[in-house]
Structures are given as C-alpha cells and as structure tokens.
Chain A
Amino acid sequence: MSDPTPLVDMRNIHVSYGGVHAVEDVSIDLYPGEVLALVGGNGAGKSTLIKTLSGAVVPDSGEIHINGERVEITNPRDAKQYGIETIYQTLALAENLDTPGNMFLGRELTTRFGNLDDSAMEDAARKVMKRLNPKFENFKIPVARLSGGQRQAIAIARAVHFNARILIMDEPTAALGPAETEQVANLIRSLKSEGIGIILISHDIHDVFDLADRISVMLQGRLVGTVNKDDVTMDEVLAMIIIGKMPGEVTQDELEELRG
C-alpha cells in the first residue's frame, strides 16, 4: 500500500472466554480505500476479533492503533467516536422501532430542549435510503415488518449516515438474494472509492475474490496469514482456511485433496 500509516492496526490481540482462547495473538491492519477480507471456518475467531474493534468485546491484551495513534476501545461508543461503524451479521436492529429510530439509535437527533426530533431523523433517513434503496418507503413502521433486504439496507444506512471511516461488515450478504447481493457489492466498491477502509467477513470465497484487496485467514483463533488477493489462487486460500498452511508451504497433493 502506498499510504504508510494504516487506518487500523491491531497488534497481538488476545481474547479468551473462560480459559478458551477465542483469539490468540492476532495482528491485522487496514489501509484507507482498502477492502480486507477476514475469512475462516466457523469458530475461527473472526467475529470475536472484529468485536474488539467495534467495542462489543474488550481484548485481554493487545493494542489497537487508529491512524497511528494508540486507542482504548472499551464500548461501542468509543468505537463510533473513532469513525468505526459495524454492520453485524444479526443486523442488530430493534425490531419494534421504525427505520429512523434504528438508524439513530444511541445517537438521536434532538431539539434544543433535548427532545427527540423525529421529523429531522426521518428526513435524514429518507435522504440516506434514497441512495441505498430508492424504492424504500415504509419509514414509520416497525422494522420487524420489513424484508431481509430492507433491514440490511437500514443497517448499512446507519453506517453510511454517520460517515464511517472504518466499516466492518460481518457476512453482509448472507441473508440476501442475488440482486441484493450485487447491490451490496456495488456499495462496497463505491465506499471504497471514497477512501473508507472496509473489513469484510464472508463465507463466500467468490465474494471475497470479487471485492477484497487483501485476505486475512484465521484458523482456531490464530492468524494463518495475510495475502494479496492478486498473488494467490482460490485453492491456495482454501488451503489456508482448512489446513492452515500458507501458499508456499502447501504441497500439490494437499491441494489436489482439497479439490476433492
């Protein structure tokens, strides 16, 4: 990368739950305008790792640097203050609230008396959604009654509206149909061109090769390694995910076996 200062630099992160090492000594970094794919099987520790960046989990040890400065992220508010927005796999929407209510949850717009300014929030929500999902209309009904794609759009709109500099997307397309998946892919490309750094967690190796610049692979809580997408084949990445060997270490036989 040309920019010498990484947007995010996570060093030697450790997280353990009751003696089990969920994340063990993992270091990753992210540069502006870059998509870093974080891949690995179930239980590899991807979600836990990004939760230390989004403030949902506090690491046992390790350092997080944002723009070269060491920061302490102990709760989601800290993360948001550093321009880190997260789109969780579960979307983290309050089903009973409407679209503006969810978009501004925890960061409500208020009048000068401190009262919620619902009209202003609805107006802002309409503006963002016009860009993400122009057909979206049901701003005043609980999001429980919206479709999966529409709910996804709200979760993304929340991140976009607050001008994320660092965007974490955990399986953003898992619940979506092909057309909506393509919409999300286009959005990722456009955010990337605006200089936003994106960490993308995905199961779909095709999505990863389509969108990512670099790929970090985790296995059983450890980092197998980080590779440039252009330097590797899909099979080599699969080998990293499944048997934890870097492209140089893996033998032809093992690759054959993976192809099945």
Chain B
Amino acid sequence: MSVTQAPPGETQQQETVRGPRPSVGSALRSAELDLRTLGMVGLLIVIWIGFHFMSGGTFLTPRNLWNLSVQFAPVAIMSTGMVLVIVSRNIDLSVGSMLGAVGMAIAVLQAEILPDILGFGHPAIWLIAVGAALVLGGLIGLLQGLIVAYVGVPSFIVTLGGLLVWRGVTWWITAGRTVAPMDSTFQLLGGGSRGSLGEVGSWAVGVLACIGIVAILLYDRRQRIRYGFKLRPTWAMIAIAVVGSAAVLGAVWVMNSYYLPENVAMQVAEQQGIPWPEGGLRIPMGISYPVLIAIGVMLLMSFVANQRRFGRYIYSIGGNPEAAVLSGINTRWTIAKTFMTMGMLVGVAAAVTVARLNAATSGLGTLAELYVIAAAVIGGTSLAGGVGTIPGAVLGALVMQSLQSGMVLMNVDAPLQDIVVGIVLVIAVAVDVYYRKRAAQ
C-alpha cells in the first residue's frame, strides 16, 4: 500500500483560508486543534490571574486550587451527561433535585439501614451505597427519559416537574432531618484529608496520563498511515504531547504541593510509627478521589460520545432528528438512554457530594442544575442541539467553579454570587447564539 504523505506545510488550507499567508488560525487548523477550546483555556487563565490579584494573592495557591478541584468534581461529572442531553435537543433541569433525592436516599441507606443489617462499619457498605446511587439515578433518569421520548412531553416540562418532585422527595425521605455521619470508607470518595492518592500515587497517575497522550497520538498516526490519510504535522504532534504532558504534570505538582493538615499528619505519623520531626511533617495530599472520579468519568463519556454508536446517534438526532429516523435509528430509545445516562452521572455526583459533606440535607444539590447547564454551555454546547464536547463541558465546569471560588475568596455575598452566575449563563448563551449566526452566514 502506498503511503501518500503531504509534505509539512502543504495542506488543503487554500480551500478554507482566504489569504495565502499562513496565519496562527491555519496553523492551529492543520494541527487539528479546536479554536473554541483553546479560547476557553485562555478565558480560564484570565479568570485565574484576575482573581489572584483581586483576592490579594490567595487564588493561585495549592490550597485554593486543591479545594477548587474537589468542589468542581460533582459539577464536572454531571456536565458530561448534560452535554449529551443538550446535544440531543433536550434539557435536564432536575439534576440538582435528583442529586438531593439520590444523595439523601444513599445517606439513609448507609447510615441507618445497612449498619443494622451488616453491622456498623462493614466494608461492603460504601460499595452498596455507590451501587444504589447509580441504580437510583439511572432509574429516575430513565423514567424522565421515557416520558420525554415515548409520551412526547417536552423535556423542559418533564424535568421542570422533576425539579419539584425530586426536591420534595428529598425532604420527604427523612421529613427534613439531616442525616450524618457517613460510612468512614464512603467518606473517602469526597476527598478530604484522607481521600487522596498521596504523592507517589499522584505522580504515577500523572505519568500514566502522559503515556496515554503519546499513545493516543501514535495510534491516530498509525491509523492514518494505514489508510493513507493526511497526517498531522510532526511539530503539532510534538507540541500537543509536550504541552499536554506539561499541563498534566503541572497539575499533579500543584496537588502534591498541598499538604495534610498538621493534626492529620500527626495521626498518620503515629500509625506508621514515624517520629514527629521538629518542623512538622509535610505529607502531600496529591490528587483527590473526587477529581480522579471526575477525570475517569470524563474519559469514559468522551469515549461513549465519540467511539460508540450510542454517542454518534445522540449527535445525529441533535443535527437532524428526521435524518436519524430515516437512517433507521431508534431515536426514542436513544433519547431515553441519554436521560438514563444523565441520571447515573447524577448518582455518581450525589455519592461524591454526600461523601464530601459527610451528611445529607434536604437542600442538597440546590441550584446545581444551573451550574451544570452553565458549564455545558460555556464549554461550547449549543442549545440548538447537535454541537458540544465532553472535555469542553469539563473546562466549563472549571470556569464555573473558579468563578464561585474566586468570589468566595473576595468575600462576595451569596446573593451576589447567584446574580453573577445567572448573568454568566445568559452571556454564555448569547455568545453561542452570536457564533452560530456568524457561522450560518
């Protein structure tokens, strides 16, 4: 088989780029990088630096970034599902209330039901609680999805109803009583002082991620050579590998620069028989479990969205529902499954949130739907359907959480925070509308 490789620089840009002079845009295009995603990274950096100065240098510290990463996890987890829901031309307004109901249910399960059956502190309790969260979330999502897909009630209405119903259920499970504390193993899912990978584990994950980046680039290149497609320029491949690995290792370094609180470090030292040194013991936290779960969910959902039929069908429905039907796709069942997936992700987020708070209250997850939808939209998901990426939404979640975290550091009142979040959501949609209008011309 003959390999036709375009020499570097000679690409088909002439067709799409007006001027003959190579621009930054065309270079990025030949590297196959998404301009919008890069723009979002730029926005994030601006927000971070802005908050850093406005908060008197407290934003870009390992402590704040570590906490931010833990808080960001539930929104990030749910935003990956919201992308698919919105891509399919639907919306889910009930995720915050669902998180409350599922979280409350598994809190009661592990704190009040399972200890009586299995015994207090039984090692299976956390697993059963997580499994229950997935099943309950999945069932609630499926129920809503079936009503949307087969009864034909618009998702806006079904999930607006769900917003009230599941909030009511949250309260009703314990008549408003707060449930605490959670199973001690389960608590690790929420991060906290012990719910982290530690120094060595974090570096190991970082190195694995770097190997993964290179492996994906090489696999992509091998496939292109096999079929004789145009290759990505070598400079672009090296740049992506270097920048990607640097970002990963940089993030691990930051996570490892935040240390266990002194009292916890002392306990650890005692347990492991390490003598307490003079200046205290600095034990790095490393990547927290919630962040690890969020990254895992992001990878899995990206895979589903891009490499599985299910994901392809969701995008086709968003692009042209009629075409999807005429192609023989079972669009109704696909929509129902999309809502079920959303529900299961809410279950994961509920487990992480309840574990982090070490409690479930009747207000659990209130307004989460706003953050999740905003994350997806800021991340480039179009409310018109058909367009949106999972990594984009996760970046969007990082933007939303950075805004909130920054405002907390600046001592902004809670009501004002809500006002800002609301305005940001509207601006994000306005930007999307503007871009789509421009693209249509």
Q: For B320, list chain A residues within 8 Å (CB).
A: 92-95
A105:B323 contact, CB within 8 angstroms: yes
CB distance from A75 to the nearest CB of B (A): 6
For chain A, residues 79 to 107, give those with C-beta under 8 angstroms from any C-beta of chain B: 80, 86, 88, 90, 92-97, 101-102, 105-107
A118 to B309, CA, bound (A): 11
Chain B residues near A (Cβ < 8 Å)? 12, 15, 223-224, 226-227, 229, 306-309, 312, 315-316, 318-320, 322-329, 386-387
CB distance from B38 to the nearest CB of A (A): 18
For chain A, residues 86 to 144, give those with C-beta under 8 angstroms from any C-beta of chain B: 86, 88, 90, 92-97, 101-102, 105-108, 110, 114-116, 119-120, 122-123, 137-138
* Known contacts A106-B329, A115-B307, A119-B229: A94-B223 contact under CB 8 Å: no
A119:B324 contact, CB within 8 angstroms: no
Shortest beta-carbon contacts, A-B, top 7: A94-B319, A106-B327, A96-B319, A77-B328, A96-B386, A92-B323, A76-B328
A257 to B324, CA, bound (A): 46
Q: Can you list 16 contacts pairing A with B, beta carbon distance less than 8 Å?
A: A77-B328, A92-B323, A92-B326, A93-B320, A95-B320, A96-B318, A101-B312, A101-B316, A105-B316, A105-B323, A105-B329, A107-B328, A114-B308, A119-B223, A119-B224, A123-B227
Q: A56 interface residue, CB < 8 Å from B?
A: yes
Interface-centre pick from A94, A107, A123, A138 (highest chain B CB count, 10 A): A94
B315:A94 contact, CB within 8 angstroms: yes
Chain A residues near B (Cβ < 8 Å)? 54-56, 75-77, 80, 86, 88, 90, 92-97, 101-102, 105-108, 110, 114-116, 119-120, 122-123, 137-138
CB distance from A13 to the nearest CB of B (A): 19
A194 to B166, CA, bound (A): 61
Residue of B nearest to A106 (CB): B327
Q: For A138, list chain B residues within 8 Å (CB).
A: 12, 15
A115 to B305, CA, bound (A): 11
B327:A76 contact, CB within 8 angstroms: yes
B315:A75 contact, CB within 8 angstroms: no
Interface of B is mostly: helix
CB distance from B319 to the nearest CB of A (A): 3
A116 to B313, CA, bound (A): 12
A123 to B225, CA, bound (A): 12
Interface-centre pick from A86, A96, A102, A107 (highest chain B CB count, 10 A): A96
B387:A96 contact, CB within 8 angstroms: yes
CB distance from A130 to the nearest CB of B (A): 12
CB distance from A116 to the nearest CB of B (A): 5
A86 to B328, CA, bound (A): 12
Interface-centre pick from B15, B224, B227 (highest chain A CB count, 10 A): B227
Q: For B316, list chain A residues within 8 Å (CB).
A: 94, 96-97, 101, 105
A108:B327 contact, CB within 8 angstroms: no
Q: For A107, list chain B residues within 8 Å (CB).
A: 327-328
A122:B229 contact, CB within 8 angstroms: yes
Residue of B nearest to A124 (CB): B227
Residue of B nearest to A115 (CB): B307
A105 to B325, CA, bound (A): 10
* Known contacts A95-B386, A119-B229: A108-B312 contact under CB 8 Å: yes
Q: For A110, list chain B residues within 8 Å (CB).
A: 309
Which of A80, A105, A108, A122 is within 8 Å of B324, CB to CB? A105
Q: A92-B322, A115-B308, A119-B226 are in contact. List 9 more A-B contacts (CB 8 A).
A: A56-B326, A86-B326, A94-B324, A96-B315, A96-B319, A114-B309, A116-B309, A122-B227, A137-B15
Q: For A88, list chain B residues within 8 Å (CB).
A: 326
A105 to B224, CA, bound (A): 22
A90:B322 contact, CB within 8 angstroms: yes
A94:B328 contact, CB within 8 angstroms: no
* Known contacts A119-B223, A119-B229, A137-B15: A95-B319 contact under CB 8 Å: yes
Q: For A119, list chain B residues within 8 Å (CB).
A: 223-224, 226-227, 229
A116 to B306, CA, bound (A): 8
CB distance from B149 to the nearest CB of A (A): 16
Residue of A nearest to B386 (CB): A96
* Known contacts A119-B224, A137-B12, A138-B15: A93-B328 contact under CB 8 Å: no
Q: For A94, list chain B residues within 8 Å (CB).
A: 315-316, 319-320, 323-324, 386
* Known contacts A116-B309, A119-B223, A138-B15: A97-B328 contact under CB 8 Å: no
Residue of A nearest to B309 (CB): A108
A255 to B414, CA, bound (A): 81
A114 to B309, CA, bound (A): 8
CB distance from A138 to the nearest CB of B (A): 7
Q: For A116, list chain B residues within 8 Å (CB).
A: 306-309, 312
A93 to B325, CA, bound (A): 11
